[in-house]
Amino acid sequence: MKPSVKVDFLFVMTALLFFACETPHLGVDAGADLDAASDAASGDGDGSVTDAADTERDGADAGSDGADAGTDGDTELGDGLPDGADYDAQDGDGGPGPGPEIWCATQWPIATLAADGYFTERLYARIWVEGVTPSAGANPALEVELGMGPAQVAPTDGTWHWLPADFNAACADCGNNDEWMGVVQAFEAGTFSWAARVRYQTGAWAYCDRADDGRVGSSDGWSPEDAPKIEVSVPGRLRVLSLNLRCLMDDWDRRLPILAAGIATVDPDLLGFQEVCSEPNASDNLAELLSALEVLTQKTYYLHRTVTHWSWDRYDEGLAVASPHRLASSTVVDLPAGLFPRKAILSRVITPQGPVVFATTHLDHQSSEARLLQIQTLLPELASFAQEQEVILLTGDMNEAPAGDVSSSLRQADFSDAWASLHPNEDGYTFPSVQPSVRIDYLWIRANSSDFVPEAIERILDLAVDGVYASDHVGISASVTR
């Protein structure tokens, strides 16, 4: 177990008590932001997250981005804090409150995004209570809450908003600590701090800020400089793209600049790609495309990619999700095989509109029975992955027209077809790009309680440039808003 700051802080006390209490464990710092897509676009091709894909705090450690603690909730500390000011972790008088000693820290994330009026991504805090933790479950005598408030205002102030947290039984590396998790609801646009607070048997609240990079959580009190941050935007739109890249075939070197220019023009927040292909020790269409996009958009793209099968006796073919916004978590779902193995990627992306679940897939191209089994497998996985407040945006090459069983299954699961919603009297054909005759590429939306609705959708990359088409599929570009 990694030595904790608490050991130094309480060394004399623990010696006098003959080590009667255990010390809190601050965790391992693995919570750095995602690497750039250009550094990891090649991927491993085995369904694992690339170097550019982060992992959510779902029980595996995603970073010891913990926190300092604040003063007792009964003490008014005014409307603002001077630079460098700290406040005692527990009792407002500066001394220990009644009951056992408490240590806590905000764990993850150290910075996040949300939209005014909506919930954040899941937040995590670690706590240690003398004689109480680690525990096998939520202790009814222990209260843990997560809150947000103005960035320079102490968390004891009435301007902070608090919600109860839940015990995380899945934490695999908590040591002597317990981990709690939950969300907070943004209440206006601007920059805010978030914090956790803990109390035992209605005693004094202990307030938590970070414990990473030499910080010590509540051991030295709460300070605004050590508090994790939430940037809140006004409700608005996100731009979504779905495109089959046609591997590296049909003169890839000429297609690449056409693809990059067309995608950069719509500048998507969320990009779902099918037929992401690489040749061993040679070309990689995703790496090359993202590198070109970074030059045109001046953005860094995070991604999750997976290989589904070996195609055309020369390519590792698969899928990818990419975004200029952080991927908090991603998973790959294995679908029932058709002619080839098939998969789906599910990602939680932290956008300026808060967390969204973004997914892409490529269903079987020959068998309607296989496609039905594949979508029936995918739907419960999407429902399980998403939280109620998160929109689900599913993109992909479904290899089936709107009248098929795939679309029927999605509608029965409360998904709406963005093209049919906005252009009910237009065919919207997407394949083949030379003379499109069928619509097989889609954006499906399940809003849940997010209030997202489709705002606009169009076909892109539908015209040849000097006789060259960007792909054999037309791209789908859409915006969703709330």
Helix (H) or strand (E) holding 337: none
**Contact residues for 95 (Cβ-Cβ < 8 A; gap 6+):** none
Count of positions (residues) in the chain? 482
Q: Mind listing the domains of the chain with CATH numbers? A: 1-30+66-227 (no CATH), 237-481 (3.60.10.10)
Element (H, E) at 365: none
- Which pTM value belongs to this model? 0.81
Which amino acid does the sequence have at 91? D
Per-residue pLDDT of the chain in tens (482 residues, 90 and over written 9): 333 333 333 333 333 333 333 334 343 333 333 333 333 333 444 433 333 333 334 333 333 333 333 333 332 223 333 333 344 445 443 334 557 999 999 999 999 999 999 999 999 999 999 999 999 899 999 999 999 999 999 999 999 999 999 999 999 789 999 999 999 999 999 999 999 999 999 899 999 999 999 999 999 999 999 999 999 999 999 999 999 999 999 999 999 999 999 999 999 999 999 999 999 888 999 999 999 999 999 999 999 999 999 999 999 999 999 999 999 999 999 999 999 999 999 999 999 999 999 999 999 999 999 999 999 999 999 999 999 999 999 999 999 999 999 999 999 999 999 999 999 999 999 999 999 999 999 999 999 999 999 999 999 999 999 999 999 999 999 999 99
Token pair, residue 220, equals 């030295």
Q: Which two tokens stand for residue 284?
A: 């990689």
Measured on CA atoms in the order 109, 206, 183, 157, is the torsion positive or negative? negative
Q: What is the pLDDT of residue 98?
A: 58
Residue-level pLDDT at 281:
85
Return the SS3 of 226.
helix
The answer to whether the beta carbons of residues 254 and 103 sit under 8 Å apart is no
* Rounded-to-integer distance, Cα 127 and Cα 120, Å: 21
142 pairs with which residues across the strands?
200
Long-range contacts (CB closer than 8 Å, 24 or more residues apart) made by 49-54: 49/304, 49/330, 50/303, 50/304, 50/305, 52/301, 52/302, 52/303, 52/304, 52/327, 53/302, 53/303, 53/304, 53/327, 53/330, 53/347, 54/302, 54/326, 54/327, 54/328, 54/329
**In this structure, are residues 296 and 287 in contact, taking their beta carbons and an 8 Å threshold?**
no
Look at the block and give the residue holding tokens 């099968």.
309
Sign of the CA dihedral with 311 first, then 397, 273, and 58 last? negative
Contact 121, 263 (CB under 8 A): no
State the pLDDT at residue 172: 78
